[in-house]
Amino acid sequence: MEEKKHLLEQLHEIQNNDDKHYLPKEKVVELAKKHGYDLAQVYGVETFYTMYSTKPRGKHIIRICENQSCHMANSKKLIRHMEAILNISVGETTEDGFFTLELSSCLGMCSVSPAMMIDEVPYGNLTEDRIDEILATYKEDK
Amino acid sequence: MKFYRTHVLVAQDTKSILAGSKRIEETLIEEIKLAGLENEIRVIPTGSLGYSENNQVAIAIYPDNIIYAPVLTSSVKEIVEEHFLKGRIIKALAHPMKHKEISMEERTSENQLNIDVQKRIILKNVGQINPESIHEYIAADGYMALEKALSEMTPESVIEEMKTSELRGRGGAGFPTGLKWQFTRPNPGPTKYVICNADEGEPGTFKDREIMEGDPHKMVEGMILAAYAVGGTDGYIYIRGEYNLSINRLQKAIDACYEYGLLGKNILGTDFSFDLCIHTGAGAYICGEETALINSIEGKRGEPRKKPPYPPSQGLWQKPTLVNNVETFANVPAIINHGGEWYKTLGVEGSYGTKLFSLMGDLNWKGTIEIPFGTTIGKIVDTIGHGVRYDRVLKGIILGGSSGSLIVPGELNTPIDFQSLSRIEAGPGSGSILVMDETRCIVDICLNIAEFFRHESCGKCTPCREGNAQICHLLEMISYGYGLPEDLEKLERIANTMMETSFCPLGQTAPSVLLQALKKFRGEFLAHIDENICPAGVCEINFVEEECSCG
C-alpha cells in the first residue's frame, strides 16, 4: 500500500540493527542515496526525534521518566542515584559501553511511577534499592 | 471445540506484568497440570482487570465470578487445591469488592445505568477477553457492527448515526466526530487515508494504552467502520515507539483481520477494501498534533502545518485524510451496534457517552477509569480514587495533562463535561487527572511542566520556542530563591503572548496551568520571591546573602 517507504521506520530499522544503537553516518548516507532523500532532510529528522541518536550508545539504554507523575514520586533523586552508581551524567554512556542513561518523556506508566525502561522492558515503582537490583541483573549477563 | 468448566483470567497489561503476572500465569498452568485439571480449567491472559493495586496481580475466575487479589506465586497452589479441586472459595484471598468501584455483575452488564460511578462501554472487554485472540473478540460481539454496517447501512447512514450520537473527539479538542467524517467523505479519491492517532504522549495519560493492550480489535473495528463511512482506502496507526506491548498486540490484531477477510480486498465479500498498517513514532510530543503527525508519516520533522487546508481536504501526501484518537475509534462499534440515540442515554447534554481518564498522583487508588460524562471531579477522587492518600489535604488537581488546567478544592463539585468544565476554564483534555496533596509546591510543579514544554517545543515558531525557554528560566530562578517581584507579571505577559500568537496548540496551551496557578496560588509564588520560603518545603532555596562588598 505504501506510496513511499517510511523514513522513520527505515531509521528505526538501522538503529535497532546497530550494535551501538545509533545511526552511523555511512548507513544514513547510503539510505538517502538509495531512496533519493535529501541528506539534509534525513539529518533534520534524525536530530528532531528523541529516540534516534547520531552518537554511539551503550549496549543497554536506560530511559528514565521525569514528567509530572514521576517527578512527584521523586524521580529526580533516582536520576541522581543512577548518575552516581553509573558514574555518568544523563546523556552519557558508561566507560565499559554497557549502559547509556537518557531521560524520557512520559512513558504512560504514571500509575506505577516512578518509572523507567531499559531497552524495551518497562520498570515501575522504582526505589534506589530496586534500581540497584535491576541493574545487577543486567550486569550478570555481561 | 474443547469445553472447559472454569476459565481463569490473568491480567497481562503493563502494570500487571511489572508486578509479576507472567510468573503467576506460568505457575497456575503448572499447578493445574499437577492437579490433573488441565482439561477442565483454562488459563487465559487478558487486559487490566481494573482491580489490582500497585505491584499486585489480580486473577478472575469464571463462571464463579471471583476475583483473587493480590495473588502471589506462593498462593497459587492453595487456589488450585482449594478452589479448583475442592470447590471452596478462599475468603481470605478474595478481593473485598465492596470497597471497590464496581462488582463483576455490573461490569459485565451493559444496560445497568449509573448504578455505580464507573460505566464500561469502551473498556467492556478489557480484562474479560484475551486481547490476542480474534475469536474471543468475535465471541464478545466483535465485528458485529462492521457486519451490520456493510450489509445494512450505506456509508452516509453510518455518518448520520455518528452525527446522531453527537460523539465528540477524545483527543483533546472535542470536535464532533460525525461532522469530521462528513467533511472527509465528499473529497475526491481514489486514495483516502484514515489515521489513528495513538501517539499518547501527554504527561500523565495512559488511557489509550489500556484499550490497545486490552482490546485492540475494538479500535481496529472502529477504524474499518470509519474507512467505510468516509471512503478510506489506506490506514495508519501512528503509535509511540515506547509502547511495545501495544504495538505487538495491535500487529497481531491486524494480522488476524487480514486472515479473516476483515482487512484487505473485498472485506466480508463486499466491494469495500481497506488496508491498515502500523507506523511507529520516534519520541516527539508534537506528533500528537494531527498535521505534525502527518508530516512525521511522510518522513519529515514533526512540525505542524498551516491550517487550512485541514486534513479532511488535504492531509497525508496531499490526499483527503481523517485523523481520530484511539478512544474515539473505540467508541464507534458500540454506536453502530446500538444506535446513536442509545449512545445519548449516556452522559449529559452536549457531552454524551463515557470518557476514559487516567487517575494518578497522591491517591489511594490509581489507574484507568471509564465514567459517564457528568460525574463530578470530587466523586472520582473520593469514590474511585478512594481519597487522598496518607489522609492528607487536597491541594489541587491538574486536569487534562500538562497542557490542561488547574482545579482547586473549591471547584470539586464541577461535573466533568465540556460545558461545565469550560465555565471554570478547563476541559477534559487528554483525560488525565493528577491529584496533588498539601506537600506539593506549585512552583516546582509549574517548573516541571515548563521543562517538559521547553524540551518538546518543535522550534518552528518563536513565541513557543522562546516563550517556553523564558518561562522555564524565570521559574527556575524563583524556585532557587532568586525571583524578583516583577517576575510574576513578566510570566503572565509571556504566557499570554504565547497563547495568542503561537502557531499550533502546543504553544497555545503550554502556559495554561501556569497562568491558572499564578491566579489561584499567587501567594505561594510570592512566598518564594518575597520571603525566600517554599511553603511546602520542596524547592531548594538558596538564601541570598548580603551583596558582596568587594563588588
State the pLDDT at residue B224. 98
State the pLDDT at residue B496. 97
- B74: enclosing H helix or E strand: helix B73-78
Top mean pLDDT of A4-8, B216-220, B357-361 is at B216-220
Lowest mean pLDDT among B88-102, B305-319, B369-383: B88-102
If you measure CA to CA, which chain B residue comes closest to A108? B206
To the nearest whole number, what is the mean pLDDT of chain B? 90
The string of pLDDT tens digits covering residues B60-73 is: 888 887 888 888 88
Confidence of residue B127 (pLDDT cuts 50, 70, 90): confident
Q: How far is it, in rounded angstroms, from Cα B534 to Cα B540? A: 8
Q: What is the DSSP string of A28-39?
A: HHHHHHHHT--H
- All cell numbers assigned to A80: 541522581
Residues of B in contact with A49 (CB under 8 A): 281-284, 302
- B59: enclosing H helix or E strand: strand B59-62
Asked if residue B396 lies in contact with residue B409, where contact means CB atoms within 8 angstroms, the answer is yes
The string of pLDDT tens digits covering residues A132-141 is: 999 999 987 7
Q: Do domains B134-343 and B347-437 have the same CATH topology?
A: no
Nearest to B280 among A9, A45, A67 (CB): A9
State the pLDDT at residue B109. 37
CATH code of the domain made up of B347-437: 3.10.20.600
Asked if residue B481 lies in contact with residue B543, where contact means CB atoms within 8 angstroms, the answer is yes
If you measure CA to CA, which chain B residue comes closest to A114? B361
3-class SS of residue A109: coil
The string of pLDDT tens digits covering residues B238-247 is: 999 889 999 9
Nearest to A106 among B203, B277, B359 (CB): B203
Amino acid at B491: L
Chain B segment 311-350 residues within 8 A of A by beta carbon are: 317
According to DSSP, residue B178 is labeled H
State the pLDDT at residue B544. 52
Mean pLDDT of B215-238: 97
Mean pLDDT of B133-162: 96
- Asked whether the beta carbons of residue A72 and residue B18 sit closer than 8 angstroms, the reply is no
If you measure CA to CA, which chain A residue comes closest to B209? A108
- Asked whether the beta carbons of residue B205 and residue A106 sit closer than 8 angstroms, the reply is yes
Q: How far is it, in rounded angstroms, from Cα B425 to Cα B414? A: 11
Nearest to A112 among B54, B205, B361 (CB): B54
More confident residue, B152 or B110: B152
At the topology level, CATH places domain B442-530 in de novo design (two linked rop proteins) (1.20.1440)
Q: What is the DSSP string of B274-312?
A: BEEEEEE--S-GGGGSHHHHHHHHTTS--PPPPSSSPTT
pLDDT for B105 beyond 60: no
- Inform me whether the C-beta atom of residue B200 falls under 8 Å from chain A C-beta atoms: yes
Confidence of residue B88 (pLDDT cuts 50, 70, 90): confident
- Inform me whether the C-beta atom of residue B206 falls under 8 Å from chain A C-beta atoms: yes
Residues of B in contact with A1 (CB under 8 A): 234, 275, 277
pLDDT for B342 beyond 60: yes
B135: left (phi over 0), alpha (psi -120 to 50) or beta: alpha
How far A96 CA sits from the closest chain B CA (Å)? Answer: 26
Confidence of residue A2 (pLDDT cuts 50, 70, 90): very low
Superfamily of the domain at B134-343 = NADH-ubiquinone oxidoreductase 51kDa subunit (3.40.50.11540)
If you measure CA to CA, which chain B residue comes closest to A45? B301
pLDDT for B75 beyond 80: yes
* Domains in chain A with CATH codes: 7-48 (no CATH), 60-140 (3.40.30.10)
**Structural domain spans, chain B:** 6-100, 134-343, 347-437, 442-530
Mean pLDDT of B183-212: 93
State the pLDDT at residue B19. 85
Residues of A in contact with B284 (CB under 8 A): 48-50
Burial of residue A113 (CB within 10 Å: 0-12, 13-18, 19+) is: buried
How far A94 CA sits from the closest chain B CA (Å)? Answer: 23
Backbone φ and ψ for A107, nearest 5 degrees, come out as: -90, 5
- Asked whether the beta carbons of residue B458 and residue A11 sit closer than 8 angstroms, the reply is no
More confident residue, B479 or B171: B479
If you measure CA to CA, which chain A residue comes closest to B243? A107
CATH code of the domain made up of B6-100: 3.40.30.10
If you measure CA to CA, which chain B residue comes closest to A120? B244
pLDDT for B98 beyond 80: no
- Asked whether the beta carbons of residue B204 and residue A110 sit closer than 8 angstroms, the reply is yes
- Asked whether the beta carbons of residue B241 and residue A12 sit closer than 8 angstroms, the reply is yes
State the pLDDT at residue B365. 86
Confidence of residue B58 (pLDDT cuts 50, 70, 90): confident
- Inform me whether the C-beta atom of residue A111 falls under 8 Å from chain B C-beta atoms: yes
Chain B segment 364-403 residues within 8 A of A by beta carbon are: 366-368, 398, 402
Nearest to B456 among A3, A51, A105 (CB): A105
Chain B segment 227-246 residues within 8 A of A by beta carbon are: 234, 240-244
More confident residue, B131 or B91: B131
Residues of A in contact with B55 (CB under 8 A): 112, 125
- All cell numbers assigned to B533: 520560603
State the pLDDT at residue B171. 87
A:B CB pairs within 8 Å: 143
- Choose, out of A47, A68, A133, the residue to mutate when testing the contact with B (most B CBs < 10 Å): A68
How far B534 CA sits from the closest chain A CA (Å)? Answer: 16
Confidence of residue A4 (pLDDT cuts 50, 70, 90): low
If you measure CA to CA, which chain A residue comes closest to B56? A112
Q: What is the DSSP string of B485-539?
A: TTHHHHHHHHHHHHHHH-SSHHHHHTTHHHHHHHHHTHHHHHHHHHS---TTS-S
Asked if residue A61 lies in contact with residue A100, where contact means CB atoms within 8 angstroms, the answer is yes
Burial of residue A41 (CB within 10 Å: 0-12, 13-18, 19+) is: middle
State the pLDDT at residue B110. 33
pLDDT for B294 beyond 90: yes
Count CA atoms closer than 13 A to B391's CA, side-chain side: 0
Mean pLDDT of B439-443: 96
pLDDT for B271 beyond 80: yes
Mean pLDDT of B447-472: 96
- Inform me whether the C-beta atom of residue A64 falls under 8 Å from chain B C-beta atoms: no
More confident residue, B242 or B315: B315
pLDDT for B55 beyond 60: yes
State the pLDDT at residue B52. 60
Q: How far is it, in rounded angstroms, from Cα B428 to Cα A87? A: 42
Nearest to B241 among A48, A51, A106 (CB): A51
